[in-house]
Structure 1
């Protein structure tokens, strides 16, 4: 493994302005609250319980608006073929149980529609994006646990030494394996190019690394919840991103990997984000996993976002979804260019700031691919969701994704 003389680099560009600790949480909260308001259900009043609000009567395309997560709930509990007594008994129930498929079996869960008129259910019906916010809070909480779990797994061997060995193994694989031709320019050379004569650009990348990952991804989820042609399409993206998270978290726990910036100085990398005072508040603190380089969630998110932009452009689709109209050529070109630019920008950022190796991005690509192919695994958790909603006396809201499109087609 090549090492380099230890030399203190000269940081000549003006440091990025350090945001106060409350700025990023306020930014994310503003995005979420703004999206919650924009995607609210119109003509629905939380406190007007005298008005019987019938979603089926208001929206003739109600079934297409339902979440793919929620579709099985439309099949109520029935008996086996030929069991007329079970069918008759179920038909007389006002809120028959839901029939779900889990592990190849039918599972019957409580029907929470009886709680639809409770005020906290009506709040969710008015602001259905609150459900998405709840999902992401759970995911972020799981990430916060990865550092503790990984430290527990490697408590005897010492996680820092293990993570450093893994990081050096990645560098060695990139430089000396039969796939080394894929990376003709080493990560250190990329950072050194920015350090010598292009530090202002590196300052921009440092700030991008801090601000884009969490606020940018949350902003994308909020935008696509509103802009997706149907909730089924949005749900595929959301499930893919969530499963990508969970698979990456498992790798973080059992394969801690030190990012280049934390390697010993003789390997020639600089922690440019830290030196530039551009750290994100989300990436600091006791429960942040600093040894989670493999795979790169920055690139994983960027790849999902890029492919979603490609789909949204409609350029490579012969047929569109129900109610969707073909976008104008300027808008289609805009989405395609954005889909290409954004992953490239993130890849450049994570390498130039020495936060990831090339192989981290490659592994992120494969994790996203596996997550996309297996995203429907989350449908197996619907019985647990039904039970949780039952315990909370909540009725799951009908999503508003695609409402604007349906209103346009109706007019």
Structure 2
């Protein structure tokens, strides 16, 4: 009995150390990501010119509907407020909670999705540096309204403009990383309600990033594509757990 108790304690201690190590790694990666992004020097005129190019692209393809959609949302104050809360509290709290759940309950899957986030984040930093873009909320001339800041200062307090690159709209990893977490939850959730949450979460976040004027439709799509490419690369480079067949 004593030997068994000692073995159990050692196992728990080992697991706790692993969790602590991964928590430190993810925290360091997030700090590094935002630190590098915030320190990037951006030519503001270039960011606005690139924003104009993004809008021109959407206009040429007939998908520049963000101002009209946002106007419809603003007419319903409660809906704009709900989307703001989804944008603020549906991202990092959900991403970090999902990573912790994967780390504790699905260790092999955790490594895959962690690496997918790291790879897509690295790709995002390269694009932010090469192609800075002003977000829609800065382009009030098109009718965009920053509904997040208008209704609450919480998000700008959590990510002060002085420490965040405000001209990194493309790609939207705000959506891309939620898409990764949605795939994880939809693939591994034990109950259909949990799996349904995994399906709906990225859809709601895509709506939130666009309808709060924080991202364009194009960069939401770009963020999703880069996140999926990161997942594919992580899958190709890592071990192939049996459950990963569901991702196909």
Shorter chain as normaliser: what TM range?
0.7 to 0.9
| Residue deviations 1:36-85 (CA, integer Å, cap 9, x gap) | xxxxx9932xxxxxxxx5x6xx9xxxxxxxxxxxxxxxxxxxxxxxxxxx
2:241 counterpart of 1:363: no
2:124 corresponds to which residue? 248
Instruction: List structure 1 runs of 4+ shifted beyond 3 angstroms.
Output: 124-127, 376-379
Please give the alpha-carbon distance, in whole angstroms, between the structure 2 residues aligned to 1:312 and 1:368.
18
2:35 counterpart of 1:144: yes
**Of 163, 167, 180, which residue of structure 1 is paired with 2:51?**
167
1:212 corresponds to which residue? 90
Offset, 1:369: 2.2
Offset, 1:358: 0.5
Compare the two structures and name the one with the higher helix fraction: 2
Offset, 1:209: 1.4
Offset, 1:166: 1.1
2:241 corresponds to which residue? none
Offset, 1:137: 2.2
* CA RMSD, 1 decimal: 2.4
Please give the alpha-carbon distance, in whole angstroms, between the structure 2 residues aligned to 1:354 and 1:290.
13
2:143 counterpart of 1:268: yes
2:195 counterpart of 1:336: yes
Please give the alpha-carbon distance, in whole angstroms, between the structure 1 residues aligned to 2:15 and 2:141.
57
Please give the alpha-carbon distance, in whole angstroms, between the structure 2 residues aligned to 1:126 and 1:351.
39
Question: Residue 303 and residue 376 in structure 1: after superposition, are their counterparts in 2 closer, same or farther (change >3 A)?
Answer: closer
The alignment's TM-score, normalised by the length of structure 1, stands at 0.52
2:112 counterpart of 1:222: no
Q: Which stretch of the first structure deviates more once superposed, 125-134 or 248-257? A: 125-134
Asked if 2 retains the 8 angstrom alpha-carbon contact of 1:187 and 1:358, the reply is yes
Please give the alpha-carbon distance, in whole angstroms, between the structure 1 residues aligned to 2:79 and 2:226.
30
Which sections of structure 1, spanning at least 5 residues, go unmatched? Answer: 1-40, 45-52, 59-121, 314-326, 380-411
Please give the alpha-carbon distance, in whole angstroms, between the structure 1 residues aligned to 2:104 and 2:154.
30
Q: How does 1:298-337 map to 2 (within 5 A)?
A: 298-313=174-189, 327=190, 331=191, 333-337=192-196
Which sections of structure 2, spanning at least 5 residues, go unmatched? Answer: 1-5, 239-248
**Of 8, 19, 28, which residue of structure 2 is paired with 1:43?**
8
Q: Which stretch of the first structure deviates more once superposed, 274-283 or 370-379? A: 370-379
Q: Which has the larger radius of gyration?
A: 1
How many residue pairs get aligned? The number is 231
Offset, 1:378: 7.8
Offset, 1:270: 0.6
Please give the alpha-carbon distance, in whole angstroms, between the structure 2 residues aligned to 1:126 and 1:213.
26
